[in-house]
Amino acid sequence: MKVNGTLSVEDHGAFPVYQDSRSAAGRCLECGDEIVYGRLDKKFCCKECKNRWHNRQARNSRIFRMKVMNSLEKNYRILSGLIRDGVTDMDVSTLSQMGFNFTNVTACRKVRKHTEMWCFDIRFILTESSVKSISRVLPVVLR
């Protein structure tokens, strides 16, 4: 295929076929209207559609981050309350009933037969049926 300005030339044997590439114009990602002017790789028909599309993308990302942070804060409140009450071991089912979400933690690593999980400065060990050694870790001070 040879491109000559806005016309594309397709070789079909002895007779070349000329097609205007503008006739196969794209569609706006926001409203779906046909883009009839501008660059061939243009994605939006106007500034308003471009702004609306990018704002929606940012909003979806912001909502996702807020949900994760809210879940982390709830997990932290639950673990802090357990530490305050002197509880160091608990069943996984009981902790789940309290609203703890095991998918949202700040760190996780596998150690032999158990998993060590962190929620900010609180560490606990997760086995198949129980949560053990719930404790607050003191921050390391570098001098």
CA 44 from chain center: how many Å? Answer: 24
The per-residue pLDDT for range 69-102, each reduced to its tens digit, is 999 999 999 999 999 999 989 999 999 999 999 9
**pLDDT of 23:** 47
In a domain, 109, yes or no: yes
Tokens of 101: 């979400």
Average pLDDT over residues 36-43: 87
In a domain, 78, yes or no: yes
Q: 90: which strand partners?
A: 131
Domain count, the chain: 1
Q: For all residues of the chain together, what is the average pLDDT?
A: 84
pLDDT at residue number 112: 83
Question: Does a structural domain hold residue 120?
Answer: yes
Confidence of residue 54 (pLDDT cuts 50, 70, 90): very high
DSSP single-letter state for residue 56? H
- For residue 84 the two structure tokens come to 């305050």
At 12 the pLDDT is 56
**Whether the Cβ atoms of residue 44 and residue 29 lie closer than 8 Å to each other:** yes
- Distance from the Cα of residue 99 to its chain's centroid: 22
In a domain, 143, yes or no: no
The number of beta carbons lying within 10 Å of the beta carbon of residue 95 is: 22
In-domain check, residue 61: yes
Q: Determine the structural domain holding residue 58 and report its residue range.
A: 24-136
Of the candidates 137, 141, 1, the residue with the CA atom closest to the CA atom of residue 80: 137
Share of the chain above pLDDT 90, in %: 59
Residue at 14 is within a domain: no
For residue 6, the tally of other CB atoms under 10 A from its CB is: 11
Quote helix, strand, coil % in the chain, to nearest 5: 35, 30, 35
pLDDT at 25: 64
**Is 113 a domain residue?**
yes
Q: Which of 6-15, 55-64, 76-85 has the highest mean pLDDT?
A: 76-85
Domain presence at residue 98 = yes
Average pLDDT score over residue span 46-56: 93
The pLDDT assigned to 15 comes to 61
